[in-house]
Amino acid sequence: MTSRVFLQDFKTADLGLLRQEQLAEEISCHQQRLLLLWRAPRALVVGRSDTRLPHFADAVDRLVAEGWPVLIRRSGGSACPVSEGTLQIGLARAVFTATTIDAAYIELANIIRTVLESYGLMAATRRTSSGFCPGRYDISVNGRKVAGLSQHWRQCNGQITVTTAATMIVEQDPEEIAHIVNLFYRVAGGAERCSASAVGALRQDLPVDATFDAPLMEDLCNRIAKAVRGEMAKRPANIFSTPPSAARPLA
């Protein structure tokens, strides 16, 4: 399968989110995957369900005052941070007849775990209930969530596509992530809460004397691109500490 990789820094997070959502429109054949790796100044990206919270507008105003504009994504899930200390990953591909929601999640989860393990870290895939945007495909190191995944299916140019996205915490302070997520839900009237102790960061998990051929964020992007192109060892398909529910085809 051919893969094309894009790496970009955006002036605002809404531009990066828009580019990620448009990625599927550029798929030209069934044998193609498109990878977008991007960063932007900080923002909190929320799911559509969050917009129905009773005081959503008040929370948006409050976070803007804190320097964290709120954006709404098409994919599911709850609040995720965007910042220059996080890496946003979007992997778009055409859907085959047998493609399932879980298979698309596992594809990106395997890539992220392969890259983390290339740094000598042991990564697990399981729900981190007290982290930000908890889900079955949370990626954790040392019991702390370092990446969360979401997904969006759509029809583009006559073919069904799926874009699986991830927010990966690289150098952002977990305390700040927990603070801004909790502030949003507290003001908006939501029950969700995030514990800083449940959130990790790649920089914190690496040995203090670790050295790379490039700055960490650049080195990480290079390794992800290699993993997508099949230039790193692949993980087996079963990546779960406990079995997930049965895979579901697209309805």
Residue written as token pair 């969700």: 192
CA dist 102 and 239 (Å) reads 11
pLDDT > 70? residue 154: yes
Identify which has the larger pLDDT, 118 or 208: 118
Q: pLDDT, tens digit, for every residue of 200-244?
A: 999 999 988 888 878 999 999 999 999 998 887 654 444 444 333
- pLDDT at position 247 is 33
Mean pLDDT of 184-189: 98
Reported confidence tier of residue 20, pLDDT bands at 50, 70, 90: very high
Query: What are 106's two structure tokens?
Result: 């596992």
CB 26 within 8 A of CB 6: no
Long-range residue pairs from 238-243, CB within 8 A, at least 24 positions apart, any chain: 239/106, 239/109, 239/110, 239/113, 239/125, 240/125, 240/126, 241/124, 241/125, 241/126, 242/126
- pLDDT at position 233 is 60
Does residue 60 come out as left (phi exceeding 0), alpha (psi in the -120 to 50 range) or beta? alpha
Q: In what order do the strands lie in the sheet with 139-141?
A: 2-9, 32-39, 86-94, 159-169, 144-156, 139-141, 123-125
**Cα–Cα nearest to 132, from 201, 84, 55:** 201
pLDDT > 50? residue 162: yes
In percent, how much of the chain has pLDDT > 90?
Answer: 75
Is the model's pTM score more than 0.75? Answer: yes
Q: Which CATH superfamily is domain 2-228 in?
A: Bira Bifunctional Protein; Domain 2 (3.30.930.10)
Q: pLDDT, tens digit, for every residue of 47-73?
A: 999 999 999 999 999 999 999 999 999
CB 122 within 8 A of CB 235: no
Q: pLDDT, tens digit, for every residue of 123-147?
A: 999 999 899 999 999 999 999 999 9
- pLDDT at position 76 is 78
Identify which has the larger pLDDT, 22 or 98: 22
Task: Please state, in angstroms and as integers, the Cα–Cα distance from residue 218 to each residue in 37, 54, 170, following that order.
Answer: 10, 41, 11
Domain parsing of the chain, residue ranges: 2-228
- pLDDT at position 158 is 83
Reported confidence tier of residue 246, pLDDT bands at 50, 70, 90: very low
- pLDDT at position 32 is 82
